[in-house]
Chains A and B, each alone.
Chain A
Amino acid sequence: MTWNFNRFSDGDGLDNLSTELTAASTWFNAIDGDGVRRGCFNLHHGLDVLSTTGTGSTSGSTERTYDHATFSTALEWSGYATDGATDAGANNPSTFDRIVLGHPDTSAGATATISGMTNRVGMDNAASAAQKQSCLIVLGNVQVTQVNVGALSDVFVVLCLQYRINVSDWYTIDHSEVHLSVEDHIADSSPSGYERIDFDVPLLGIVTPALVTDNGDTPGSDSVTEVRICVSMRGTGTFGGSEGIRINRWNLTAIGPFSEDV
């Protein structure tokens, strides 16, 4: 089907123009998606790749120390038995696992939000998130500079990404969790005081509508409003008081929403 659009000039009648436009409209409406010129949606659909409300980044270079008190109090909870773990007991990190992984809404959790690493991003436009089946990609980098294992053995530094719903509950992005062995990264495998690790931990997570649903929220009406990086410590034994983790320099970026189905 073809359509030859006649040019107009001064003196042409409006009736002629109306006839041409009617023909143009009929022709245009008859074409299907396959007839659309490649690139014709460039101007307005590029924004869906990376929305103005879905992106944020933060970084820092101040060394922070998270000592045993940061974690020991928070360890005094019971639960997670159904996940294969048992009650940790007071100040005893030896009998639990998945201390970061889990559901912070049901437990205080033995985590600390790393200072400066909470970032307001995400699916503020809930309607858009639902319609576009969008997701949020989260990137993190943390350098663990030093660790003091204290009275513990088999010590791991645990890091993860978390997202927040409606500026309220925080949830762990389960697949983002990283366990960094301390003994494996020191020269003599015999820690003494604060030992240098100088280990950069990359973190990667993706918040999908399915993940939001799994955690009991509704992607179409509940918004992902913030992300953060959390740190914790696990090991065998009982805290003696000198345990701690030092972190220096981090980068946290979340970009989205990205479309899941295209």
Chain B
Amino acid sequence: MPTHTWPSPLFPTTGISASYWTDTILHDTTNPEDSLYVINGNLDEENVDAGFTVYAEHTQKGSHVRVHQAARTVDLDYFDGSFAAKSSGTVDSDTSHVIPGCAVRWYQPWVGPVLFMWSVGWGNNADADTEISALFLTLDGTVEDDTRRNLRRSIPTGGTIQNGGACNRVYSGHWFEPDMSVGYHDAALIVACNGPPHTRLYSGHIIAVPFNVTLS
């Protein structure tokens, strides 16, 4: 760091009593630019040459971004009776299940945006056009409806099932929550079904990435 620029003026040189700058300037927490705020380590781009490059080693690990994740490999089978209300359009605790290994709980250390990414393999053996398996993201128990994905077998609209076999897909989704508060939060993928006798979930994971910034 070749050239350091002090706050200007750092201290008055005449006409001010010593008690003034010890009590007011040095220790005035409301006016840090005139105190030892900079000396004490609060450097910013004003204190370095234009050509000085800030590399990763100049920042603390976890100060800009953090990552939390959960994952699993085991297959999970859900049958029609697993969902008491059997309503894919209304998702609540009676009609859905949190997917094990696709849920994270983390401490949000700052107010800021969080990016969620996930991937789940899934399939069902629906035998009617109205039989649906559905996946959603929930944040602190609230369903984010735009993340919903429905799964049906290949059936012409209004038609009948053409042949047997299951329909398998992969849902690799994302969600950007712009303003999450400080504290503990939960993000979970949930599965709900309406009709398919059997819904199977394959390997899956979820990742939460909190960014330490303020969006405007």
Contact = CB atoms under 8 A, between A and B. Distances in A.
Contacts of B6: 21, 25
Interface stretch (A54-62, A70-78, A214-222): A54-62
Contact of B174 (A17, A43, A141, A199): A141
Interface string A1-45: 000000011111110011001001100110111011111111111
Contacts of A186: 154
Contacts of A196: 129, 152-157
Nearest to B133: A198
A114 interface: no
Contacts of A185: 154
A177 interface: no
A192 B170 CA distance: 24
Given A9-B22, A143-B149, A193-B157, A202 B115 contact: no
B216 A249 contact: no
A139 B44 contact: no
A66 interface: no
A14 B22 CA distance: 11
A50 interface: yes
Interface in B153-178: 153-157, 159, 161-163, 165, 167, 169-176, 178
B63 A187 contact: no
Contacts of B42: 40, 43
A146 B43 CA distance: 56
B57 A38 contact: yes
Given A145-B150, A194-B156, A36 B1 contact: yes
Given A52-B215, A198-B151, A192 B156 contact: yes
Contact of B173 (A40, A52, A197, A200): A200
Nearest to A17: B11
Contacts of B44: 41, 43-45
A111 B207 CA distance: 32
B214 interface: yes
B152 A198 contact: yes
B58 A38 contact: yes
Contacts of A187: 153-155, 161-163, 165, 167
Given A44-B44, A141-B174, A200 B149 contact: yes
A79 to B, nearest CB: 34
Interface string B44-61: 110000001111111110
Contacts of B175: 59, 251
B170 A200 contact: yes
B70 interface: no
Given A46-B64, A50-B113, A8 B59 contact: no
23 contacts: A8-B18, A8-B22, A8-B26, A13-B18, A28-B4, A36-B1, A41-B44, A41-B59, A42-B63, A44-B43, A45-B54, A49-B213, A53-B216, A60-B146, A187-B154, A187-B165, A196-B153, A196-B155, A198-B151, A200-B173, A249-B148, A249-B149, A255-B211
Given A49-B64, A145-B150, 15 more contacts: A9-B22, A21-B6, A24-B39, A25-B4, A32-B2, A40-B43, A50-B215, A52-B213, A59-B146, A194-B156, A198-B152, A200-B173, A251-B176, A253-B174, A255-B115
Interface of A: 8-14, 17-18, 21, 24-25, 28-29, 31-33, 35-47, 49-53, 55, 57, 59-61, 139, 141, 143, 145-146, 185-188, 192-200, 202, 248-251, 253, 255, 262
